Amino acid sequence: MLSGDKVKIILDHRERNIKESLEEIFKDVEMALLPVGDIVLLFSNYAVLIERKSISDFISSIRSNRLWEQLLKIMRTKRIYGYKIKRKILLIHGSIFDEFLINDNSRFWASISGAFMEITYVYDIPIFFLEDNAAVPTFLRILSKRELNGSNDSIPKPRWFRKRAKNLPEKEQRIYFLSSLPSIGEVLARNLLDHFGSIVAVANATIEELQEVEGIGEKKATQIYEAFH
């Protein structure tokens, strides 16, 4: 189970049918009358807001314009339960293929394509597709894990840009350089840069000063020091 003090799940009262399955993974799951969205994930200092729709509800809400009212409300909401909303997600359940069987393909796909682009580019809300309710606990588990370890805010893995580091933004080039030091990955490289502010300051730091950085003990501090001296 994920630690309850790391992530708290709040479900709108309409989502009670997934509460039991979520409690098998998360320690802290509550029901509430949410002012916006269907699921809220609360972390130590921010929230992730999720809106859920079945594929049929998604399509009907496009035709009635109800979707845009809901997404505009989500877009305008900056905080929930006192937490700043860092990420907003639209979950769609079901298969679009089934809808093709009962709709004119060309017109239907044109409408859906336009809606996807509007949601992604205008409302800045990413869309994820899940088969059914049974997939929700796994999705939330992976989402929480990635949020807790910083994966959703990381840069591409070094193996993908080893030969093109010069094309990275300046700060990411510094992180790339520091991450190449012995036993220093991206997370520690970012911690070092955040703490010292520059590679020069890292290089000039003593072993004791290096140990002040989160995640760096005496052994790693010594390795970093020796790499620059």
39-66 pLDDT per residue, tens: 999 999 999 999 999 998 998 999 899 9
Tokens (6 digits) for 111: 């409408």
Residue 169: pLDDT band with limits 50, 70, 90: confident
Check residue 5 and give its pLDDT: 52
Say what the pTM is: 0.68
As a whole number, mean pLDDT of residues 123-130 equals: 95
Closest listed residue to residue 209, CA positions, set 200, 221, 197: 221
Domain ranges of the chain: 8-152, 155-228
Taking domain 8-152, whether its CATH number is 3.30.300.160 is answered by no
As a whole number, mean pLDDT of residues 201-217 equals: 90
Helix H segments across the chain?
Answer: 19-23, 55-64, 66-76, 96-100, 105-117, 136-148, 158-161, 170-179, 186-196, 199-204, 207-210, 218-228
Q: Which residues pair with 26 in a beta bridge?
A: 2
Helices 55-64, 66-76: crossing angle, 10 deg rounding: 100
- For domain 155-228, the CATH class is mainly alpha
Check residue 170 and give its pLDDT: 75
